[in-house]
Structure formats: C-alpha cells, structure tokens
Structure 1
Amino acid sequence: MFFLEAKRIIVVILGSLLVAISLNFFLINANVYAGGFAGAAQLVSSVFKDFLDIEISTGILLLLFNIPVIILGWYKVGKGFTIYSIVSVIFATIFLELLPVISLSDDIILNAVVGGVIAGVGVGMSLKLGASTGGMDIVAMVLSRLQDKPIGTYFLLLNGVIIVMAGIVYKPENALYTMLALYVTTAVIDTIHTRHEKVTAMIITRKADELQHAIHQKMVRGITILPAKGAYSKEDQNMMYLVITRYELYDLEKVINETDPRAFTNIVQTVGVFGFFRREGEVIDKEN
C-alpha cells in the first residue's frame, strides 16, 4: 500500500515537471496556450506582462486559480483525490518558478506540437494512476457526482475562451496554434489514458457477489449482473455491466485485481447515457 501511494506521488510530481517543461520551454514564449487552468494562468500572465507591465508568473497564478477549486474538491470529492491535486499544483508551481522561461525553437508549430505532447504525457501519466492534476479535473469530478451532464462541455468552454482570447489579444494565428497544441495534448492523453467522459466496463467473473460488494465500497455506481457461460470451459460465470466516469477507472481496475485477478474486463467508450445513471446521494426505488 505504501509503495503504491509513493509511486502515485512520484508520478504526480513527474507529471507536474513535464507540464512545467512544456510551458516554460515551448509554449509561453511562443504565445501558444495550454488547456485548462494552466492555459488560463498562462494567458492572464501574458496579458498582465504585455499590456499592464505587471510581472505575475504563470506558476503563481496557477496556484491562485486552484485554491478555491481545491477547497471545493476537499469537501465535495474527498480528501484522497484532492491530496494528489494539491501535490500536483504545488510542484507545478515550484517547477514553473525554478525552470527558466526560454525558447528552444523559433518555429511556432514545433513549439505547439512538442509542448502539447509533453503536457499530454504529464497529465496522462497522472490520470492513468488515478491521480488528479487539479483545476478542471476537480471541477469535472464534482460535476460528475452532482449531475449527469456532459463534463466535456465545461472543458470545451474554458478552452474555447482561451483560444478566442489568444486570437483577440495577440494574433489569429496564436488561436490556431493553441488549437493545435490542445489537440495534440488531448490525443496524447487519450493514448495514455482516456479523455472520454464515461466508459462502460464489462467484467466476466466467478466472484460477482464479492466484486459487487468491493466496487460499491469504493464508488457509487449501479451494476447489472447477467449470467454468462464460457464457450470453451463451459463454466457458469457472471458478467457485470457498469458505466463509470474516467476518474473512477483506476479505482475499478484496482478493485478487480484485488478481488478477482482472474476476471476478464473489457472497457469501451460510452458516447452517451440515457435513463437512470446512479450518482452520489441517490437511492434506487426498489418498488419500481
């Protein structure tokens, strides 16, 4: 347990370092913006410096933007999930302050692509181990627990504002290069982990009751259990069918490995959900 938590902390710190490298070495001097709170902090820092002659670093602004969100996550999401966000934001701020802001290339397209790849690797590594990177991840987690609305809309809205402001404040080309960087970042994250709002897990197991109990100890999600039979072994098993958010994917994998390591699990993208999608605080009316 200690080794696992230490590994997650190390990965979160490494992810923060990669995000800082992406910003300070590639994106900031090129006026190409990252996504989420990092991009918002980067844009505000640029505006303050170029138009108001006020020096406020991206790292400090990133920390300030995350403070209210982290407080929200602490009470609405949980201490464990939020602690990783705190570690991520603090170390991202430290690395952004320690690393120099330099230009490794004058090619703006190269800066956008390489910066997007490095940022995507940093975020994707953290998400893959079930850790949060703060900012919009916490907002999305809160929204996923409170209401079943498209989380991607909020990501798109914030990133859309960043893209439009980049085009207005600087040049239209900056908006296009920012779109390129965001696309590359998202593609890399999707390769390493997933950016899908919800995924469907189909689990073939001989320990359906134990697994169902273990899953419900960890997350609030409805599960459908269907009888299944192995085509080769002819053994009677069960298929557990459930829809979860991407933030719960690591926890689900961990529960399955601990409860039934021989279970077969297929994870597929869920485009949409209609009808009842169980959320925290809701109960099922057993009479209906």
Structure 2
Amino acid sequence: MYIVEAKKIIVVVIGAFLNAIAMNFFLIPANVYASGFTGAAQLLSKLLGSFAPFNISTGILLFVLNVPVTIIAWRKIGKSFTFYSFISVLLSTIFLEVLPVKHVSPDILLNAVFGGVIAAVGVGLTLKFGASTGGMDIIAMLLSKIKDKPVGVYFFMLNSIIIITAGSIYGWQNALYTLVTLYASTRVIDAIHTRHEKLTVMIVTNKGEQLKKAIHAKLVRGITSVPAKGAFTNQNKEMMMIVITRYELYDLEQIIREEDPTAFTNIVETAAVFGAFRKD
C-alpha cells in the first residue's frame, strides 16, 4: 500500500516538473498557449502584464484558478483523487516559479510541438497513476458525477476562448500554433493513457461479493452481475460489468489487484452510455 502511494507521489512530481519545463522552456517564450487551465493562466498573465499596472506569474494564476475547483471536488468527488490533483497543481506552481523562462529554440513550430509533447507526457503519466493535473480534469470528474455529458465540449469552449482572445489581441500566428500544441498533446495522452472518457470493465471472479463491497466503498458506480462458468474448469464464477470514467481506471485496477489478483479483467472502450451512469 505504501509502495503504491509512494509511486503515485513520484509520478505526480515528475508530471508537474515536465509541465513546468514545457511551459517555461517552450510555450511561454514562444507565446504559444497551452490547453485548459494552464493556457488560461498563461493568457491571463500576459493580459495583466500588457494592460494592468502589475503582473502575476502563470504559476500563481494556475494555482488561484484551481483553488475553487479543488474545494468543490474535495466535497463531491473524493479526497484521494482531489488530494493528489491539488499536489500536482501546487508542485506545478512551485516548478513554474523556480525554473527560469528561457528560449531553447527560436523556431515557433518546434516550441509548439515539443512543448505540447512534454506537457502531455506529464499529464498522461499523472492520469495513469490515478491523479490529475487539476483544472479541466477535475471539472470532467464533477460533470461525470452529475450527468453523462461529453467533456470534450467544455475543453473545446475553453480552448476556443484562449485562442480567439490571444489571436485578437496579440496576433493570429502564435495563437494558431496553439492548435499544433493541442494536437500533439492529445495524441501523446491517448498513447500513454486512454482517449476515451468512458470505459467498460468486465471482471470474471469467484470473489464477487468481496469485490462489490470494495468497489462500492471507493467508486460511485453501478455494477451488473452475471453468472458465469469456466469452460475449461467448469467452475462457477461471477462476471461483473461496470462502466467507469478514465479517471477511475487506476483506482479500480488497484481494487482488483488487492481483492482478487487472479480475476480475469477485460477493459473495452465505450462510445456512449444511456440510462443511469452512477450507483443509486
């Protein structure tokens, strides 16, 4: 248990560090914007520097934007996910403040691509180990608890506001290079974690009741149980089907490993869900 938590902390630190490198060495010097709350913080920092008598760094603004979302998530989502997400945001803020902003390359395209890829490696690793980088990931979790709506719409809206605002004020070339960053980030996150918001997990086990109690103690999800029999052994088992969000995959994997490491588990991509997507 302690080893698992230690691994998660290490991955969160690495993810935050990679995010800071992507921002301070590639995206900020090139005036190319990141996605989500990080991009919003980056744009706000630039706007304040241009039009206000004071300036606030991207790292501090990233932390401020995440505070209200984190408070809501602590009450609505769960303490473990929210805690590690907040640690990720806090570490990103510290690294953004400590690392200098410097030009690694004068080529704006290289900055857009490498910045997007490096940031995405950090995000993908963080998601894979059951945490998030805050911001839109937490909003996605909140929305999944309330209603099954495509989170991509909200990502698109926020990123569109960033691109349009930046393009209108500072010129369209750099703002449009943000699209290159977004594309590179999306492809890398897909490769490391999963691009699908919903996943269907089928678990064949002979410890059905034990697994159900453990899952319901951790996740707010319904479970469908079907009697099953092993074709080779003729042993009676139980097949449990559960639909989860990608943010819950790590926690579910840990539960299965702890309660029944011999269980056969199949994870498939889910295109859409109709009906009640939660435990009543």
Q: Partner letter of residue 107 of structure 2?
A: D
Give the Cα separation in 2 of the matches to 1:97 and 1:171: 27
**Once the 2 structures are TM-superposed, how far is the Cα of residue 206 of structure 1 from its aligned partner?**
2.4
**Aligned ranges 1:181-260 → 2 under 5 Å:** 181-260=181-260
Instruction: Give the equivalent residue in structure 1 for 2:3.
Output: 3
**Once the 2 structures are TM-superposed, how far is the Cα of residue 96 of structure 1 from its aligned partner?**
0.5
**Once the 2 structures are TM-superposed, how far is the Cα of residue 194 of structure 1 from its aligned partner?**
1.8
Give the Cα separation in 1 of the matches to 2:210 and 2:73: 30
**Aligned ranges 1:81-160 → 2 under 5 Å:** 81-160=81-160
Q: Partner letter of residue 246 of structure 1?
A: R
Alignment check: 8 A CA contact 2:145 2:278 kept: no
The answer as to 2:251 corresponding to 1:275 is no
| Structure 1 residue runs without a partner (length 5+) | 284-288
Give the Cα separation in 1 of the matches to 2:9 and 2:245: 22
Q: What secondary structure sits across from 2:93 in the alignment?
A: helix
**Aligned ranges 1:23-62 → 2 under 5 Å:** 23-52=23-52, 54-62=54-62
Alignment check: 8 A CA contact 2:120 2:189 kept: yes
Instruction: Give the equivalent residue in structure 1 for 2:14.
Output: 14
Deviations, residues 72-120 of structure 1 (Å, cap 9, x unaligned) = 1122222222211221111111110111111101111111111011100
Give the Cα separation in 2 of the matches to 1:77 and 1:264: 28
Give the Cα separation in 1 of the matches to 2:107 and 2:233: 59
Give the Cα separation in 1 of the matches to 2:77 and 2:19: 24
Give the Cα separation in 2 of the matches to 1:53 and 1:266: 57
Q: Partner letter of residue 148 of structure 1?
A: D
| Distance verdict in 2 for CA 1:117–1:203, change over 3 Å | same
Q: Partner letter of residue 92 of structure 1?
A: S
Give the Cα separation in 1 of the matches to 2:182 and 2:49: 23
Alignment check: 8 A CA contact 2:200 2:243 kept: yes
Identical columns (%): 61
The count of residues paired between Structure 1 and Structure 2 equals: 280
**Once the 2 structures are TM-superposed, how far is the Cα of residue 233 of structure 1 from its aligned partner?**
4.0
Q: Partner letter of residue 215 of structure 1?
A: I
**Once the 2 structures are TM-superposed, how far is the Cα of residue 216 of structure 1 from its aligned partner?**
1.3
Q: Partner letter of residue 32 of structure 2?
A: V
**Once the 2 structures are TM-superposed, how far is the Cα of residue 231 of structure 1 from its aligned partner?**
4.0
Q: What secondary structure sits across from 1:29 in the alignment?
A: helix
TM-score (norm 2): 0.94
| Structure 2 residue runs without a partner (length 5+) | none
Q: Partner letter of residue 78 of structure 2?
A: G
**Once the 2 structures are TM-superposed, how far is the Cα of residue 254 of structure 1 from its aligned partner?**
0.5
The answer as to 2:75 corresponding to 1:75 is yes
* Aligned-pair Cα RMSD in Å: 1.7
**Once the 2 structures are TM-superposed, how far is the Cα of residue 273 of structure 1 from its aligned partner?**
0.6
Instruction: Give the equivalent residue in structure 2 for 1:286.
Output: none
Q: Partner letter of residue 272 of structure 2?
A: G
Give the Cα separation in 1 of the matches to 2:268 and 2:85: 27
Deviations, residues 185-228 of structure 1 (Å, cap 9, x unaligned) = 11111111123221111122222222222211211211112233
Q: Partner letter of residue 214 of structure 1?
A: A
| Distance verdict in 2 for CA 1:106–1:212, change over 3 Å | same
